[in-house]
Amino acid sequence: MMLKGLDPLLTPDLLWVLAAMGHGDDLALVDANFPAETVARRTTSGRLVRMPGLTMACAAEAVLSLLPIDTFVDDPVRRMEVVGDAVTLPPIQQEVQQVIDRAAGRALPLAGIERYAFYEAASRAFAVVQVGDMRPYGCFLIRKGVVLAE
């Protein structure tokens, strides 16, 4: 896409999703192992946007360059917990945590969600964005905040 000032990773389909979301809508940002086609069909938009060949941190950074994080809730960014070890943050989650903290301008810990509860929560999201990162547990829900007039 040839537009000034926009990250070239932000495709027209992804831009539509980000713009169409309202305050409080969730975006499911998921890894290559996630059942994205199945879950995306059950979302509000029914859309699956693919970002192949990227790391999750790179994709999260592009998305968060435009998507404000909700500040009205305690857990605006959630992660899929490691099965059998809810407290461990694998490297993919640690990397995204750093991106989230930079975007929020403060520490904003990822809240954990059990695997099957995550699938259900993702099906209630506005849309699913599947990233080509093959590492497991790279699945996140990001709640859209308010865009204020300047």
Active site residues: 23, 70, 119
Report residue 107 CA to chain centroid gap: 17
Report residue 75 CA to chain centroid gap: 13
Contact 52, 84 (CB under 8 A): no
Q: How far is CA 26 from CA 59, 125, 143, in A?
A: 16, 5, 4
Q: Which two tokens stand for residue 84?
A: 């059998």
Nearest to 121 by CA among 15, 42, 59, 67: 42
